[in-house]
């Protein structure tokens, strides 16, 4: 039985945030057991934001509960919210596009059933391509063109959601008969108002079975490859945005604040931070709920010592028993000081996800990582390991300049580093990235489906390079994944650190072979 908060039972729901499952299409058979189920961070933040202004939110997480379209309709028909807002963000850079497929499927069904509730949508794909989204997907009545904190409040304050009223709200695109119109831009939340206008996470609105957040599960490696440690699981952010403009990334599209039809993330730099007091309050809530496996979603957690050092000191006080299991991201060129790493480890951060990208210096420097300082990768990894912190090493195959030789170098480096976590992606022209814009300009073939932007889907279509076809890149990526996770020194490391069961779980995972359309494989869904 799924339980949830009863706070909203007798009060009209102003906005229902709807999170839709697309895991099977995105991850194929990996979705059943191995892929993560992430809490809907942005839905949680927006819910608490509008609640602080007197509106009543609810969340239907169809991803966590594995609801069918019929069950979603039944829930919505029961609560009859004033507005439905699909939230199409993900904790991975491509998730906002790959999840669109499931969202559109449900939205079309709700329109067919004549639910008679306006359908809106917010997400990274929509922010990158607002006009295109409305032109292509007829079921949506309007979309939010940036993070929607202020525009959503203003929409909910309207007497009606008709075009005559919507035209007065900044930061949206909407339909007016056969015409699609975009209003003036809306500002994003400034740094000094982060605690006020995004005042927390509505954890109480999430469904659960026996205890809070037990429907969510961490990535395998985050839980030391132990299924029992994956849940309960939570994700939260200490900052928004990124000050860099990597050409393969679209994370900064959240910061969008203009009126262009096609948004590019690198145009919207800048970071905004919640205070240490705010973040610690949220950590305390999670710890009180019994949640110890936590992801810090920030792209650049170890970037600004002004913010992360006080937070780590507070977390260290709460982690005297070393029970916290936290994962955070960092750029490899920002991990420099051993004494900082010692503090990070005391705070319960047992995993650092580092973007190494390539074993070839020439390729790394071509990625446009914005003031990227090339570093001795081996020395950095050594420092992290000496601090007793595990590394999730991230690589990208098929970056501009990649050849079979540079990818071979990347693989050789990764085997030499032998980190406890390893993943590699195929370079994609993600909507909102500079690579997407360049692909449009060059006439490069792009995926025909939303799940084509997923790194693990049947439809995956990576970008070709001058020397490598898209098929060659995906073959190299899939072979590398299996080679690394069956690499004897890696499995020995895992067994030594986490036990034989963890190593066995990895071996079982590698037995699942992803099907790829580009290779001529039969569609696994057929």
- Cα 64 to Cα 38, 68, 214: the distances in Å are 8, 12, 9
Nearest CA to 262 out of 142, 432, 134, 120 is that of 432
Mean pLDDT of the 394-420 span: 93
Mean pLDDT of the 49-61 span: 97
Confidence at 244, pLDDT banded by 50, 70, 90: confident
3-state secondary structure of 442: helix
Note the pLDDT of residue 257. 87
Q: For the whole prediction, is pTM greater than 0.85?
A: yes
Beta bridge partners of residue 396, listed in sequence order: 425
Note the pLDDT of residue 3. 52
- CATH class for domain 15-191? alpha beta
| Side-by-side strand order, sheet with 142-144 | 57-61, 15-19, 83-88, 119-123, 142-144, 172-176, 179-182
Note the pLDDT of residue 7. 47
Strands of 2-49, DSSP E: 15-19
Spell out the long-range contacts of 316-321 with Cβ–Cβ below 8 A and sequence spacing 24 or more. 316/343, 316/346, 316/347, 316/348, 318/283, 318/284, 318/287, 318/348, 319/346, 319/347, 319/348
Mean pLDDT of the 202-221 span: 95
Instruction: Characterize the bridge pairing of strands 83-88 and 119-123.
Output: parallel
Assigned architecture for domain 192-412+419-444: Alpha-Beta Horseshoe (3.80)
* C-alpha dihedral (36, 37, 41, 46), degrees to nearest 10: 150
Mean pLDDT of the 290-300 span: 91
- DSSP letter string, 347-368: TTEEEEEEEEE-S-HHHHTTS-
Confidence at 4, pLDDT banded by 50, 70, 90: low
* C-alpha dihedral (68, 73, 76, 81), degrees to nearest 10: 130
Nearest CA to 423 out of 36, 115, 141 is that of 36
Domain boundaries, the chain: 15-191, 192-412+419-444
Note the pLDDT of residue 189. 95
Note the pLDDT of residue 1. 38
The answer to whether residues 61 and 98 touch, using CB atoms and an 8 Å cutoff, is: no
Note the pLDDT of residue 27. 80
| Residue 8: pLDDT over 60 | no
Note the pLDDT of residue 95. 64
Q: How many CA atoms lie within 13 A of 237 on its CB side?
A: 26
Instruction: Characterize the bridge pairing of strands 142-144 and 172-176.
Output: antiparallel
**What's the CA gap between 15 and 115, in Å, rounded?**
14
Q: At what angle do helices 41-51 and 149-156 cross, to 10 degrees?
A: 50
Nearest CA to 146 out of 246, 259, 296 is that of 259
Region of poorest pLDDT, from 14-23, 143-152, 500-509? 14-23
Note the pLDDT of residue 381. 93
Note the pLDDT of residue 368. 55
């Amino acid at each position: 039985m799924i339980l949830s908060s009863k706070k909203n039972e007798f009060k009209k729901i102003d906005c229902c945030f709807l999170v839709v499952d697309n895991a099977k299409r995105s991850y194929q058979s990996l979705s059943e057991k191995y892929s993560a189920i992430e809490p809907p961070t942005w839905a949680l933040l927006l819910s608490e934001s509008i609640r602080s202004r007197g509106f009543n939110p609810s969340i239907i997480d169809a991803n966590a509960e594995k609801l069918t379209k019929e069950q979603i309709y039944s829930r919505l028909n029961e609560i009859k919210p004033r507005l439905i807002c699909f939230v199409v963000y993900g904790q991975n850079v491509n998730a906002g596009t790959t999840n669109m497929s499931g969202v559109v499927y449900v939205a079309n069904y709700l329109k067919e059933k004549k639910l008679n509730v306006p359908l809106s949508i917010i997400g990274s794909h929509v922010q990158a391509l607002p006009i295109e989204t409305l032109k292509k997907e007829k079921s949506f009545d309007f979309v939010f063109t940036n993070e929607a904190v202020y525009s959503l409040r203003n929409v909910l304050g309207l007497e009606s959601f008709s075009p005559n009223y919507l035209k007065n709200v900044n930061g949206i695109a909407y339909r007016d008969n056969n015409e699609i119109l975009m209003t003036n831009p809306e500002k994003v939340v400034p740094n000094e108002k982060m605690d006020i206008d995004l005042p927390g996470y509505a954890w109480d609105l999430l469904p659960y079975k026996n205890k809070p957040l037990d429907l969510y599960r961490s990535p395998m490696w985050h839980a030391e490859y132990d299924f029992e440690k994956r849940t309960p699981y939570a994700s939260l952010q200490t900052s928004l945005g990124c000050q860099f403009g990597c050409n393969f990334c679209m994370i900064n599209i959240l910061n969008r604040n203009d009126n262009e039809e096609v948004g590019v993330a690198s145009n919207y730099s800048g970071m905004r931070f919640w205070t240490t007091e705010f973040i610690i309050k949220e950590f305390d809530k999670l710890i009180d709920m019994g949640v110890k496996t936590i992801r810090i979603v920030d792209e650049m957690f170890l970037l600004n010592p002004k913010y992360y050092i006080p937070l780590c000191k507070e977390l260290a006080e709460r982690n005297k028993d070393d029970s916290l299991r936290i994962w955070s991201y960092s750029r490899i060129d920002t991990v420099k000081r051993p004494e900082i790493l010692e503090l990070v480890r005391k705070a319960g951060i047992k995993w650092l996800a580092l973007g190494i990208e390539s074993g070839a210096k020439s390729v790394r420097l071509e990625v446009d990582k914005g003031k990227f300082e090339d570093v001795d990768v081996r020395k950095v990894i050594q420092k992290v390991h000496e601090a007793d912190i595990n590394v999730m090493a991230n690589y990208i195959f098929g970056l501009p300049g990649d050849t079979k030789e540079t990818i071979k170098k990347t693989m050789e480096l990764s085997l030499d580093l032998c980190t406890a976590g390893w993943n590699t992606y195929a370079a994609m022209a993600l909507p909102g990235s500079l690579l997407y814009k360049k692909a449009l300009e060059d006439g490069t073939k792009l995926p025909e489906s939303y799940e084509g932007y997923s790194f693990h889907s049947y439809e995956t279509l990576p970008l070709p390079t001058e020397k490598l076809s898209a098929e060659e890149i995906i073959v190299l990526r899939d072979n590398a994944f299996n080679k690394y996770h069956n690499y004897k020194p890696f499995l020995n490391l895992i067994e030594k650190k986490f036990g034989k069961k963890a190593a066995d779980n990895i071996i079982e995972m590698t037995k699942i072979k992803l099907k790829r359309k580009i290779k001529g494989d039969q569609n696994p869904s057929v």
